Amino acid sequence: MKALGSVSGNVMATGQLFSKTTQALFYNYKQLPIQRMLDFDFLCGRETPSVAGIINPGSEGFQKLFFGQEEIAIPVHSTIEAACAAHPKADVFINFASFRSAAASSMSALKQPTIKVVAIIAEGVPESDTKQLIAYAKANNKVVIGPATVGGIQAGAFKIGDTAGTIDNIIQCKLYRPGSVGFVSKSGGMSNELYNTIARVTDGIYEGIAIGGDVFPGSTLSDHVLRFNNIPQVKMIVVLGELGGRDEYSLVEALKQGKINKPVVAWVSGTCARLFKSEVQFGHAGAKSGGEMESAQAKNQALKEAGAVVPTSYEAFESAIKETFEKLAEAGKITPVKEVTPPQIPEDLNTAIKSGKVRAPTHIISTISDDRGEEPTYAGVPMSSIVEQGLGVGDVISLLWFKRSLPRYCTRFIEICIMLCADHGPCVSGAHNTIVTARAGKDLVSSLVSGLLTIGPRFGGAIDDAARYFKDAYDRGLTPYEFVESMKKKGIRVPGIGHRIKRGDNRDKRVELLQRFARSNFPSVKYMEYAVEVETYTLSKANNLVLNVDGAIGSLFLDLLAGSGMFTKQEIDEIVEIGYLNGLFVLARSIGLIGHTFRPKETEAATFTATMEDVLYTK
């Protein structure tokens, strides 16, 4: 009696499915099972990773993973065909697709000439689809493991996905080197348990397979037992079946026909089902009794009568395995396995940190914001509090730039600066560059940046220098005459003084607004008054040497910092030196430059081209 779907082609008959050079293609990227495969490779001393490529439909590139201490890049392909063409030596297809798409992707893999084994991890694949896969695999001499499987493992050589669990479990089960036992089970979870049991009472597993718990597995218990029978290194076979279905009876027939000449220790779980009055489903789709012949008791009895070693209970399973192994060892049929010490698998940094084994330095220091709690905070102030208190942009800047809540007159001054500096027409260099870039069809960020890059000492970037020089001169007690003349001797123009259009009799309205606000609200305006005195002297030299908006903001910001009483002298010096004040102009002017970016796009203006009249041609 042969169970439906048995695959008994040449691939099965030859015995060995995997080796230490086997490579696989992994469908539907999952970081953890792939990394576990690579860690197992390293543990076994493989020279090459067992995962040759990853297939992620619609994606191409590389995925970074670890092979021991070395970080490697595994190619990612968008199609199964492309992956098989790129990695012709990879003959195992590990399918982590969902049950909805597992059948289609598995069939596509089976149709590739390079693929010999397909492992289907998904549970619940439609039975009609599974039958088609089984039929195609049987007709084309290929092997299907699953569906609903954790996979399989050849000790010391190759493993599929999450088979055998963690590295600690693999080491405890001695799966890093081959033993003498071939093991096959329906259950992936029970496989882990039996790997451990077998390692305790024998020299360990040579190969283990979980065929999967669905009603129609791609390959059967007997398929793999017959295969183990053809592998010289396998000296005994352990089988763990379960109630439901008739798969075990194909093994019974094989035993009766003398096709298996190695000891078989078997147990069919589910004997407790008789204690229930109605039919009970035990986890797997196939784990339910459909009649007396499908009961665990009937299967165990049939296996025992056919010649398998069948214990009286699952608790006695371990003893039966031990006794069988010891008899083979006493008869000299098993050569003692040379124990080896597996290499230490490097632990991932995040895992080691969480377990307290290592400490690692951080890469970034954040003193202005924190997003780790229930809501982000700016300098310790919750976002909700900022909104509920009706705070404005100036308050947010005070928190994020200066790390403290400044008085309202300070934050209002910041907001006025932003409003006054937001734009200065389309003719200035920043706006001009932005418009030209936008008309060339570039995106918002590119257009904005092209304008911002013109900001410097000659355009909008003089606020810091104005503050720096005014502060130095005032603090040293220089008269306006001494200050201006010393700058002249150094060949340095006084930052914050001079305007292309404005004159002494036509002052910049922005400067007047800022001065008026400061005189009404600031505790002290000593630096501004000094800047005005310097302007009085420079106007005696030329009518265009007026205090401009850069000079007004620079001097008034010094008064804000000094007069608020919230900054030390060292902090004020650092703020001026680092470039905080130019940051105000950059922030403000970004508003206008973004506007200049949108206008050409609205009107679909053509690419800007200068006319010949704009150019002086010289020889």
Catalytic site residues? Answer: 284
In 3D space, the residue among 269, 33, 41 whose CA is nearest the CA of residue 155 turns out to be: 41
Give which of 545, 590, 544 is closest to 423, Cα–Cα.
590
Strand runs (DSSP E) across 282-367, as ranges? none
Contact 5, 220 (CB under 8 A): yes
User: Which H/E stretch holds residue 432?
Assistant: helix 429-439
Report which residue type is found at 176.
Y
Q: Alpha carbon 329 to chain centroid distance?
A: 49
Determine the Cα–Cα distance for residues 514 and 519; give it in Å rounded to an integer: 9
Dist CA 125 CA 146 (whole Å): 10
Q: For 429, left (φ over 0), alpha (ψ -120 to 50), or beta?
A: alpha
Check whether the bond before 147 is cis (ω within 30° of 0). Answer: yes
Q: Which phi and psi angles does 522 have, rounded to 5°?
A: -80, 140
What are the distances in angstroms from CA 157 to CA 37, 182, 378? Answer: 10, 14, 54
Q: Distance between CA 71 and CA 266 in Å, rounded?
A: 43
Q: Taking the mean position of all CA atoms in its chain, how far away is CA 176?
A: 29
**Contacts of residue 607, Cβ cutoff 8 Å, sequence gap at least 6:** 439, 440, 441
Q: Return d(Cα 181, Cα 201) in angstroms, integer.
A: 11
Helix (H) or strand (E) holding 265: strand 264-269
Q: Which tokens hold the place of 460?
A: 């909008």
CB under 8 A, 24+ apart: contacts of 600-609:
600/435, 600/438, 600/439, 601/438, 605/439, 606/439, 607/439, 607/440, 607/441, 608/435, 608/436, 608/439, 608/440
**CA–CA distances in Å: residue 584 to residues 173, 512, 514:** 65, 18, 14
Q: Is the dihedral of CA 166, 168, 172, 176 positive or negative?
A: positive
Q: What 3-state DSSP class applies to 129?
A: helix
Burial label for 618, CB within 10 Å (0-12, 13-18, 19+), is exposed
Residue 82 structure tokens? 């492309």
Neighbour count for residue 164 (Cβ, 10 Å): 27
